[in-house]
Amino acid sequence: MTRRFGRRQLLGAAATGALLGSQSGTARDAEVGSRREVRLEFLRPREIEEARAACSTVFQPLGTVEWHGVHNVVGVDAVKAHALCVRAAQRGGGVVSPPLYGGVGGMNEPHTFIMDPEDDVFSRLLRPWLEQLCREMARDGFKAIIILTGHYGAAQQIVVREAAVRMSRALAIPVLGTPEYWLALDEGYTGDHAAWGETSLMMHLFPETVDLTRLGDPPYKGVAGRDPKESSALDGRRLTDTIVSRLAALAQKMPTWDYETLDRFVEAEASLVAKQLAAPRGKNPVWAAWRNLNVMRDYGRWLADGEFDAIKAAVARL
């Protein structure tokens, strides 16, 4: 049986189709944006120039090759930092430079490549490499640099943040150098090694790389922090969302900062470096300034919101 439609029905159907088409187009645009290629090594010159014109921030992820328990792959630090940067650039803009494998220190376990000795805050390799990278990125026209380290022994953190502060001053553009966990301290992620935080992130970002059944019973070899058996992809997603949203906000804002804002940012970050370097001497001197880390729990929010005076005030209580 052939069904006849009146003019009103046809117009209604057309309007509905147009609305659905518009909605699907919006969803499609959002999906395309979320999948936008931001990895620098896969971009052609014109694509780099277009991305830089839209948002002149470049991300530099850092990591190393290091033992992360029997349940994780050895590239955890770099691949998680890179994945977080990619998601942030897709959300907020910018491009992502290839990750650097190699940093200060590492676990005294197999399959670990240590490029600078642990507790070497003067770093013969990483520091000059970061400095030259920043110079080249600025020379290429980028107006903000975010160095995200997924490897974070105490000396590594100091080297990365101190180099970022110095290059911010030298280049007169904002350069942020921080471990990813500092952006999610308020989520209970206070940094660990192959434990709940890192493993949860990997379970969300790269689920095929994690095998908790290999852990056996504690104590676990080369694991430091909350029991990795408590890790979950759901926790990893929550941490990822917090870190990525703050990185994306920074990617959008940092290139637009005026000199007064840049000065306040640099002063806040410099105060943190100074506090860490001035920590009392002891068995583990470079870790002394992390004893009261809870006072920095809102660092990620303060940073993303430009509340640099709050950061300085918290540093004084470390």
- Domain presence at residue 316: no
- Its domain, for residue 80, covers 36-257
* Model pLDDT, residue 124: 87
Confidence band, pLDDT 50/70/90 cuts, at residue 284: low
Angle, vertex CA 145, rays to CA 143 and CA 149, nearest 5: 175
Question: How many Å apart are CA 192 and CA 15, to the nearest integer?
Answer: 55
Q: Is residue 269 part of a domain?
A: no
Q: Is residue 164 part of a domain?
A: yes
Residue predicted with more confidence, 173 or 5? 173
Distances (CA, A) of 55 to 28, 95, 142, 250, 261: 22, 8, 9, 11, 18
Which residue is associated with the tokens 């300085």? 312
Q: Has residue 98 been placed in a domain?
A: yes
Mind listing the pLDDT tens digit for each residue in 177-217? 999 999 999 999 999 999 999 999 999 999 999 999 999 99
Q: Is residue 273 part of a domain?
A: no
pLDDT at 5: 45
β-bridge partners, 57 = 144
Q: Is residue 283 part of a domain?
A: no
Is residue 169 exposed (0-12), middle (13-18) or buried (19+ Cβ within 10 Å)?
middle
pLDDT per residue as tens digits for the range 5-16:
454 444 444 444
- Residue 282 within any structural domain of the chain: no
Q: How far apart are CA 145 and CA 155, in angstroms?
A: 21
Specify the number of domains making up the chain: 1
Residues 224-260 have pLDDT tens digits of 999 999 999 999 999 999 999 999 999 999 999 999 9
Residue 308 placed within a domain: no
More reliable by pLDDT, 123 or 37: 37
The CATH number linked to 248 is 3.40.50.10310
